[in-house]
Structure 1
């Protein structure tokens, strides 16, 4: 606890950033309205547009600020700017970012309406990932495996500190979508499959970012994580019930945590693109969830209504539809002029009312007032904080041991390490790392420094072990060395990618990696498989159940190698637990823990269930109890470390609801209890389950659904223990 407190105080002191929002809602809106009243129609249209910051750099690409940048800003009048994933100034260093963004802010104060600069937004989704010198943390899926919202909050605040040092104000994070289909390319950007467990992580991320002075963005509202066939941006068919029970809780949690912005889903729901859905963006988001902040589009998605979805005949109609649906700020990275002309025509011919345009512009201005942009402020230092200790601690918390026949921990003998993930920054960091498609992709050649598995294993090996490493490309030499080894560690992983490029319809690894695994298993030596991937993968049938140990490392970030070495050597354990259901076959992709009973009475069994994970020790649950209160149900359970080493006991609390007339899941995850325990130590843990987590949304097939806590017997399962309580 002392270590954690010290780290938190250090972050607070170094960041030096004032939390946002910095003004009360009424004061921020009052100051914004005073600016709005001075603006012309063209200025308001500019205010609701977001331009790529390359528009203001030399040559319209990576470089210094252009000599005519001030003139371009004055002409476009953008309310916001952004960079695409991997687009960077020159030099692509913290100082380079700080100077470029400070320079654009100064130009904005000189040439934009009210002297109010454009706000800069970026995707800093696991650290400030576009900057090669920044510390990168595990992607969200790994943090979901840690089941530790306090850790997520700490990482988010550290990310905010680095952003503010580079004069960045706005993060397009966290992802509040659910990871329900592992074939989907953005599965690794989610915190997992379970709505209420994800909700806790989302709230923590929002709190961390905004306490560090950076605006958070909940994305992608709503249903983006439920695409057909697991393909990015495919249509999602979502019932009213699924919307309320599954999709909305993480967004509701983020809104309650104070998120200043929401990004719209760039896909479609029930056949309608969300960017044109008044029902979702206004009816659900504004009226039902009471969100009062800024709604921003995703990349170029108003134009996609014309070019991809073909739901609107031209950009004028598309602009009108999106603004009327509820989009306040359009992320129009390249052709700002074209969009501005289209929106102006839509206003002038009555398709968009002046009042709606004023409302959108006011929200952009209010957003900037909340960030402190209406006042002078100190420049960022351009110096990043060394967060490597936090990154290592985070990676260690995610590691999940799926199989172990006592091969681990490694204690003595000769260990051979191989596989493409043993020393690859690209695989270890995954997508959204320097480039949005990952290291080595696009026009940015920088390779971040990482602690790789092979290097860390060799550098920190105990005296009783000898460790060697050979690349899998030297197959003959590798197999000769394998014949002399006592244990072989094979590090495999998915090539980095993002969005649709990361779709994996077969949940498979590249054939060359499967061939490597088959070859080393053929030696008959114990094989430890370390997987760095953003989803569960399926091994060929002839390789299943043949590895001696299996470690899921997710995408562990900059310090993943050091964290893995400590765990493999037994200096630490494996506290991570699966935040998703691992299917046994491709036909079970999309199987989740909260699937209700089937009419045939059959219940598919996954390869590994939600919350699964082994460790070097074991835990027992006893003395479970449940007590109804006005706020919900308080669940208690005693957890004992029954093994010989320290470890972290993590148990999902599942609720079973009384009959409601509709299908209900047998086990609804409603929370987690978790404790680090010494050998033999026992501790009674308590969890308050709010009543809303026990609501059932019932109704007929095509009718409206009504959410309420039903009267009856509720059962709570924690480990092997159950407790019952009657409500009301």
Structure 2
């Protein structure tokens, strides 16, 4: 980034705005979707409606705000693409009286989304690592590859908190807990921005809380839940991570489309949290105010609503912020001061990015899948694999005759999320992947050289014939051990079983996979179940009959390697569930965060209890926990800090990792509270016989909630801190008294528990 201080950049931007014509200012508020050599193609529904009304030459006649996905929209050689991008940028600078280049953005949810770039595990898998430091390192690596191409902004991380894991975009989230989401998301922000890439938080806010888990669905909730659960991760990433950009949710919250909500973008984001960056629209979201939400009569009205709310840049094209905005300002319908406000924000960021300075020469050598990136992807995948259950069958002790069945056992695409380039573009043949992606069959064959492995797919993810299932059963019947690999194939808008626009009506495995699993288990052959998926799936009573269950959340190009290493014991399983696994396919949508009456009770016949709870995960060794101890005394002031610690010892014969989780329980409060919620976590890596202490310093602010009057408050009374292996496995508790009540001004809460290991 450029050397201008924030104040100098803002002053320089304000000076530019004063010299610009209205057309020049509006040009800075729009994007242009083109790859560096062709049209964008059909990426999403509704795109054909969004032409922007301008030719490319017209769109760049007065400069340009952003270039949309020049590397992510079609296959392109990186060196040639960087050279062509530099030429396009020269054209844009030459059309601007002030020599201003476009800000280039790309998707980077699972790594830079371009052909040939390293593909990392999905965010849900990164959540399963419970390892912000590793996530920071991965994001820095991703950002470095982007910056080398001439990219400036990444459309990640997703900070939506899962409310209903039937939602197709569950794979894009960190999980069902706001604290974990905020901690991992903030690490991604700081990692990306340390490489010079502007991180974009999405989707602000409550997109994941849509009715029935349907994409674009309406959201109905009160302001308390919105603030406490859904806004908290964004607040952490803005106030702690200093994120440079925010993207709106498509949803309407209680009837108000977020793209038109000034209370959110101006009141909360800027006035309360001090956000100083740029708000960009999700693709086509501004015109959706007219075409889908029907709160704007035309595109000019949509522009007025969005610009007034605080959306500074329209993506991906100049649709409403192009001619409709110009006409509305000329007619007096929209004040030019709103255009000036947005343009100053955009130009301030561009100054900081060096987009008004002489650009460097494009690189002549680019490796988008270097060894260090693959190593980081592999490490993220390893640490994300969750051992859900195990009767001692794992790790595999060199079986001589193994049956490997299931539709995801020998499919490269099943390792990837919907924002990985091959799956996003439907390039699912092995020859089209762009990077080397081993399958589970290939890795197990290499890692178990003494075993005879018979493979039978048993059909595809969505379809299977009786004959295909019978062939899998025959293979399992004659084997010493069966490994059944089931799960998802991610895609977009109905082209997958998980991913954007691929919502589910239940937590049943797609297609006939549950039938396949039952048939294999019925053979009596000891069976290890491997689930490779973008959401949790209920296995029903199959979970009782399986010898072991392993969960991988679309673990990326090195995912098969990671799963195989866990199965064979080459590495220790250390992942923990970022979302609970339902007990039954028809289990009601639920997360661990609910109050008492949202849990199992005698007043309802429906039991929402998860089969495997949030935070759950086993190891190949055993751990002994000591009694938790308070180091800060039995009382704390409402602006003080509670210090609690617990010692954990590895009593087994193998090295292992324990994740100590700190939950807060508030027994009596003035409004109904969740039974418990995560407020801290620490990972302990322990050799056999080794002990270590996990210490937590929790600010009393984390006990704050929205009171009945709508203000944040820490109330006097007793709090219970729970040291736990998971939300369903509490190892010990301590009580601490809060001496007084205290109201907190919005945007002043301390949001992090400091965790140390010693």
Contact 1:695 1:709 in 2 (8 A): yes
Q: Is 1:433 the counterpart of 2:420 in the alignment?
A: yes
Distance 2:2 2:480 in 1: 57
Q: Is 1:360 the counterpart of 2:342 in the alignment?
A: yes
Distance 1:431 1:59 in 2: 21
- Please, which runs of 5 or more residues in structure 2 have no aligned partner? 43-53, 460-467, 493-498, 725-730, 740-758
Distance 2:591 2:217 in 1: 20
Are the structure 2 counterparts of residues 548 and 707 from structure 1 closer, same or farther at C-alpha, using a change threshold of 3 Å?
Answer: same
Distance 1:592 1:409 in 2: 30
Distance 1:350 1:621 in 2: 69
Are the structure 2 counterparts of residues 355 and 263 from structure 1 closer, same or farther at C-alpha, using a change threshold of 3 Å?
Answer: same
Shift of 1:224: 0.9
Tell me the residue number matched to 1:166. 149
Q: Is 1:245 the counterpart of 2:228 in the alignment?
A: yes
Q: Is 1:657 the counterpart of 2:654 in the alignment?
A: no
Q: For 1:683-694, list aligned pairs within 5 A.
A: 683-694=692-703
Counterpart among 201, 205, 217 of residue 188 in structure 2: 205
Tell me the residue number matched to 1:9. none
Distance 2:81 2:480 in 1: 49
Q: For 1:708-727, list aligned pairs within 5 A.
A: 708-719=713-724, 720-727=731-738
SS in 1 for 2:660: strand
Are the structure 2 counterparts of residues 694 and 368 from structure 1 closer, same or farther at C-alpha, using a change threshold of 3 Å?
Answer: same
Contact 2:625 2:647 in 1 (8 A): yes
Tell me the residue number matched to 2:571. 572
Residues 19-66 of structure 1: CA deviation (Å, up to 9, x unaligned): x57532111112222322221111111111111024x7456769xxxx
User: After the TM superposition, which of the residue ranges 289-298 and 22-31 deviates more from structure 2?
Assistant: 22-31
Shift of 1:69: 9.9
Distance 1:512 1:200 in 2: 38
Residues 282-305 of structure 1: CA deviation (Å, up to 9, x unaligned): 111111222121010000111111
Contact 1:621 1:718 in 2 (8 A): no
User: After the TM superposition, which of the residue ranges 243-252 and 201-210 deviates more from structure 2?
Assistant: 243-252
Distance 1:242 1:437 in 2: 33
Tell me the residue number matched to 1:614. 618
Q: For 1:338-357, list aligned pairs within 5 A.
A: 339-357=321-339
SS in 2 for 1:502: coil
Contact 2:529 2:546 in 1 (8 A): yes
Tell me the residue number matched to 2:19. 38
Distance 1:382 1:623 in 2: 53
Tell me the residue number matched to 2:367. 383
SS in 1 for 2:282: coil
Tell me the residue number matched to 1:296. 280
SS in 2 for 1:75: coil
Shift of 1:631: 4.8
Tell me the residue number matched to 1:369. 351
Are the structure 2 counterparts of residues 340 and 513 from structure 1 closer, same or farther at C-alpha, using a change threshold of 3 Å?
Answer: same
Contact 2:287 2:319 in 1 (8 A): no
TM-score w.r.t. the length of structure 1 is 0.90
Tell me the residue number matched to 1:260. 244
Tell me the residue number matched to 1:78. 64
Shift of 1:695: 0.5
Distance 2:662 2:61 in 1: 56
Distance 2:284 2:622 in 1: 51
Distance 1:520 1:705 in 2: 55
- Please, which runs of 5 or more residues in structure 1 have no aligned partner? 1-19, 63-67
Are the structure 2 counterparts of residues 301 and 604 from structure 1 closer, same or farther at C-alpha, using a change threshold of 3 Å?
Answer: closer
Q: For 1:631-642, list aligned pairs within 5 A.
A: 631-642=640-651
Are the structure 2 counterparts of residues 147 and 679 from structure 1 closer, same or farther at C-alpha, using a change threshold of 3 Å?
Answer: same
Residues 332-371 of structure 1: CA deviation (Å, up to 9, x unaligned): 43xx266411101221222321111101011111111121
SS in 2 for 1:263: strand
Tell me the residue number matched to 1:151. 134
Shift of 1:267: 1.1
The total of aligned residue pairs comes to 691
Residues 450-469 of structure 1: CA deviation (Å, up to 9, x unaligned): 12211111112154x33343
Contact 2:23 2:62 in 1 (8 A): no
Tell me the residue number matched to 2:166. 183
Residues 423-465 of structure 1: CA deviation (Å, up to 9, x unaligned): 22221112111156464379x95453212211111112154x3
